[in-house]
A and B are shown apart, each in its own frame.
Chain A
């Protein structure tokens, strides 16, 4: 064991002293443990100064300064750890809020995308309907176009196009999937279809007055030169289509304004 540090350089002396303090602390902890065990076995504790055996060296005295130093060091470490924990908790809260904001923005963008795509699809439908009607070469082609629009774009499997005759009645000009009960002719003023021809106001089931024909889904006036030239009557919708939509209403407007020119007498 070293006798003293007077002949050593200052840095080596400090290291030696720290090592000595460390060794003393270690021995102190061991002696305190042995005292506790002896107290449990024998009763009154033995003096701390009598703990160490001759083989371990001279008796140890408690080092309060060392304990106090260690206690202060551990307290500082604990305070630092708590501060770090608080900082990290705050960071976690900030990141969670950021994630929530991003998720909200993502949902908004997704909703916007769907809305834009639906609008695009709707515009495409209207363009296609117009293109087909205006691209028709003759009356037969125009009637086929009306049928395709109603069957494939509105979603019906029973329709009739009626042309206004000179007497003011309606004659069937084109039909698709018509049930046997559907008339080939409507006398003037007879029923919803004839009233649509007379007053030029479209009929849609569920909006406004009910029809005497419970199967009639819609009756749309078809105009030529601003005047009613006929009526498109739609009965059964496809099984998987529950009701008409806003897009269907817009398609009806296109048909009303652009399909009637093929029903005027000059077009025959």
Chain B
């Protein structure tokens, strides 16, 4: 049986490393992207089951990535969790308007991240 696949999109190698460390014990395949454009391209190529998406990134921010993914039939249904430092209400609202499914704030809490991922992908 194929493992579920998670696409991690962040321009910070520190955050990517942190997410990989937290999710390394779980039974998911992890794919990374280092900016918004790279994240969008890999979402089309890799067909992930879940996307963890940073907001502030070069070339294309997370809101734009999410909007574009929602415009396509093959990626419209993929759950997208925004990973953001901007926990203020207006940023969260902007995220939902762009089509994100959920959000998590930085600093990332490992338990919270695992719990949210499991809620969308199962154990």
The A1-19 residues at the B interface (CB cut-off 8 A) are: none
Does chain B have a CB within 8 A of A149?
Answer: yes
| Cα(A125)–Cα(B19), bound, Å | 10
Q: A155 touching B85 by the CB < 8 A rule?
A: yes
Cross-chain pair count, CB within 8 angstroms: 63
What chain B residues lie within 8 Å of A118 (beta carbons)?
Answer: 110-111
Q: B14 touching A240 by the CB < 8 A rule?
A: no
How many Å from the CB of A109 to the closest CB on chain B?
Answer: 15
| Cα(A216)–Cα(B88), bound, Å | 22
Q: B87 touching A128 by the CB < 8 A rule?
A: no
Please judge, given known A-B contacts A124-B21, A131-B17, A148-B15, whether A153 and B114 are in contact too, CB under 8 Å: no
Give the nearest-CB partner of B106 in chain A.
Answer: A152
Q: B15 touching A152 by the CB < 8 A rule?
A: yes
How many Å from the CB of B30 to the closest CB on chain A?
Answer: 14
| Cα(A185)–Cα(B87), bound, Å | 32
Contact with A along B1-41 (1 / 0, CB 8 A): 00000000000111101100110000000000000000000
| Cα(A124)–Cα(B24), bound, Å | 11
Give the nearest-CB partner of B25 in chain A.
Answer: A120
What chain A residues lie within 8 Å of B110 (beta carbons)?
Answer: 117-118, 120-121, 124
Q: B15 touching A121 by the CB < 8 A rule?
A: no
Q: A117 touching B114 by the CB < 8 A rule?
A: yes
Give the nearest-CB partner of A133 in chain B.
Answer: B14
Q: B106 touching A238 by the CB < 8 A rule?
A: yes
Contact with B along A112-142 (1 / 0, CB 8 A): 0010011011001101110110000000000
Please judge, given known A-B contacts A149-B14, A240-B87, whether A155 and B106 are in contact too, CB under 8 Å: yes
Q: A117 touching B111 by the CB < 8 A rule?
A: yes
How many Å from the CB of B92 to the closest CB on chain A?
Answer: 10
Please judge, given known A-B contacts A114-B111, A127-B21, whether A132 and B106 are in contact too, CB under 8 Å: no
Give the nearest-CB partner of B11 in chain A.
Answer: A148
Give the nearest-CB partner of A127 in chain B.
Answer: B21
Identify which of B22, B107, B109, B114 contacts A152 (C-beta below 8 A): B107
Does chain A have a CB within 8 A of B105?
Answer: yes
Q: B14 touching A132 by the CB < 8 A rule?
A: yes
How many Å from the CB of A77 to the closest CB on chain B?
Answer: 54
What chain A residues lie within 8 Å of B111 (beta carbons)?
Answer: 114, 117-118, 121
Does chain B have a CB within 8 A of A27?
Answer: no
- A118, A151, A154, most chain B CB atoms within 10 A: A151
- 7 residue pairs of the A-B complex, CB under 8 angstroms, read A118-B111, A128-B14, A129-B14, A148-B13, A151-B106, A153-B107, A238-B87
Name B's A-contacting residues (CB within 8 A).
Answer: 12-15, 17-18, 21-22, 85, 87-88, 105-111, 114
Name A's B-contacting residues (CB within 8 A).
Answer: 114, 117-118, 120-121, 124-125, 127-129, 131-132, 145, 148-149, 151-155, 157, 238-241
